[in-house]
Chains A and B, each alone.
Chain A
Amino acid sequence: DAGVIQSPRHEVTEMGQEVTLRCKPISGHDYLFWYRQTMMRGLELLIYFNNNVPIDDSGMPEDRFSAKMPNASFSTLKIQPSEPRDSAVYFCASSLPPWDTIYFGEGSWLTVV
């Protein structure tokens, strides 16, 4: 089992640039989650999908953030325009119903300068 695959692993970008993070969930998992981790706020759920449909995006910080899941094996999290305070580790995770145990990817480490 390949696990949840995220890319890029590391990204450094300038303020104002668009950032796109990518995720491939574990095959067969119906739920996909995007989390953000910072020292100050810990792990925060941004949004989650069930069968490619966004169910709860109440954790998305603001309109600069958007997420899509065009098919069962791919999701993106986009930040446009990026700001220094967006610097964090962004984790994608997936789960089978009823999404009790969530399996995380290795994370995308984002630095906005």
Chain B
Amino acid sequence: GESVGLHLPTLSVQEGDNSIINCAYSNSASDYFIWYKQESGKGPQFIIDIRSNMDKRQGQRVTVLLNKTVKHLSLQIAATQPGDSAVYFCAEKAGTASKLTFGTGTRLQVTL
């Protein structure tokens, strides 16, 4: 069936550097995408979202890029901080009534 997958299960980044977390999706009908951050012992926390009519959206220190041609989504974190260490999930859905499908997650480790 359709699924959302991640290329890298673990990403190690030095504090202050930029992080890029990637996500591939296979459902070409997906039109809404979300990035969640999950810290140890906590629930997933909404970071940023993007709809399929956009290819870029910026938040505070985060940017999401969407390439529909290759069905690829990325989350960029500027000036990565120790507090950014967490597991990051991408999620996608196709249409208002469809289910939100989560990827397997990428662990971001920030080294000092």
Contacts of A102 in B (CB 8 A): 34, 46, 100
How many contacts A-B (CB < 8 Å)? 40
Contact mask A25-62 → B, CB, 8 Å, 1/0? 00000000000000000110100000000001000000
Contacts of A45 in B (CB 8 A): 99-100
Q: A43-B89, A45-B99, A102-B100 are in contact. Are A91 and B46 (CB under 8 A)?
A: no
Taking the complex as formed, is A106 at the interface, i.e. its CB lies under 8 A from any CB of chain B? yes
Taking the complex as formed, is B96 at the interface, i.e. its CB lies under 8 A from any CB of chain A? yes
B93 touches A100 (CB 8 A): yes
Of B99, B103, B104, B105, most A-chain CB atoms within 10 Å: B99
Further 14 A-B residue pairs, CB within 8 A, beyond A45-B100, A106-B41, A107-B43: A4-B43, A42-B102, A42-B103, A91-B44, A98-B97, A99-B96, A100-B32, A100-B93, A100-B96, A101-B34, A104-B36, A105-B43, A106-B42, A106-B43
Query: Which 3 residue pairs across A and B have the least CB separation, nearest first?
Result: A104-B43, A98-B96, A43-B102
